[in-house]
Amino acid sequence: MDRRQPRQDRQVLMIPYGRQDVSQDDIDAVTEVLRSDFLTQGPAVPRFEAAICAATGAKHAVASNSATSSLHVACLALGLGPGDILWTVPNTFVASANVGLYCGATVDFVDTTPDTYVMDADALEAKLTAAATAGKLPKIIIPVHFAGQSCDMNRVAAMARSYGVKIIEDASHAIGARYLNQPIGDCAHSDICVFSFHPVKIVTTAEGGCATTQDDELAYRMGLFRSHGITRDADRMTMDAPGGWYYEQLELGLNYRMTEMQAALGVSQMKRLDDFVARRNELARRYDDILSDLPLTRPAQNPDAYSSYHLYPIQVENRARVFKALRDNGIGVNVHYIPVHLQPYYRNLGFRPGDFPQAESYYDHAISIPLYAGLTDADQDTVVAALKRSI
């Protein structure tokens, strides 16, 4: 048997739910770094951070090797630790919750809205009121801008500030999105905002993340935790440096640095951010029109937000049957997300089915259908035709 040939029983997905769009300019940018003197800790990472600042209006951007790493250093910079509490939503990737556990904190969840699948401001208000009475307020809240759409950050921020709670926006899906006509990442409603640059996201660095902030000290602390907790800044050292070789470890940090190759790819990709987001919105509007007569639920949109449309999640009856039929037809659908509190690890912490009914109800019917900047109208028509047959 020729092992280079695909097995006949192996599923071949012709149209994935998401994929990167890598141009020759992107390849040239990475190749240029490979021929340079720096593969890590060189000039490309600061250039990428500057591009993020320019796109978001943030004063500082701290790049890392993943969005999970960025969320972790954001929590560390805000002083999250044992005895503290972090809240996020069940409808997210597990990293949004796990970072609280990495810091030794307790994690809990706030249920989601039934139509946009993001943190429900009413549920947050009720939970904050009860927590204040019980003396168990969270130190940090992480609202998640699911599928590229902002939460109701005006209300979330106002409530959090009234209780002295810090906010980290998990905007892993939302680079290029806007809220109240301002770019996500400007931290107008948060202390820190985090982006992801995984290949299926809006722009990619292969793997990578970035945290933005307007706060000088938070930016410094995130940079410190990103690189072993070590500084060479004489103004931050505890003693005079005996020579140019000297450095000090001030915190128990980690190695979360982004490479120069990743950053160079990111700089090149960021030049097409607006085009990527515009195309995703065009495809989403086309889905809205074509799917309007089918017995399914399309994603609602917050009128105060402009989504970057990382995902186009629909809800259908008989999800397992529809999912299998689409996969069998080469349509690489996926499900985002299995509610975090239903994962075995979190069940062992005491969470149970029924704890967050809106997130669970959404999950029971959810399918993410293909959406990415390189998706053609013909590809989209193929997806819709297969979806019609499956329903």
Task: Say how far apart CA 260 and CA 42 lie, in whole Å.
Answer: 6
> Residue 351 phi/psi, 5° resolution?
-75, 150
Residue count of the chain, please give it.
391
Q: Which helix (H) or strand (E) element contains residue 222?
A: helix 216-226
Can you spell out the DSSP letters for 16-41? ES------HHHHHHHHHHHTSS-SBS
Q: Where are the beta strands (DSSP E) in the chain?
A: 15-16, 60-64, 85-88, 106-109, 140-141, 166-170, 178-179, 182-183, 192-196, 209-213, 230-231, 248-249, 305-306, 312-315, 331-332, 366-369
- Axis-axis angle for helices 377-390, 319-328 (nearest 10): 130
List 213's β-bridge partners, or say none.
60
Task: Say how far apart CA 298 and CA 26 lie, in whole Å.
Answer: 34
Residue 201 is a catalytic residue = yes
Cα torsion 322, 328, 333, 335 to 10°: value is 60
The catalytic residue among 201, 271, 324, 388 is 201
Spatial CA neighbour of 372 closest among 62, 148, 196, 77: 148
Task: Say how far apart CA 141 and CA 34 lie, in whole Å.
Answer: 40
Q: How far is CA 66 from CA 18, 262, 289, in A?
A: 18, 11, 35
Can you spell out the DSSP letters for 301-358? --TTEE---S-EEEE-SSHHHHHHHHHHTTEE-B-----GGGSHHHHTTT--TTSSHH
Catalytic residues: 201
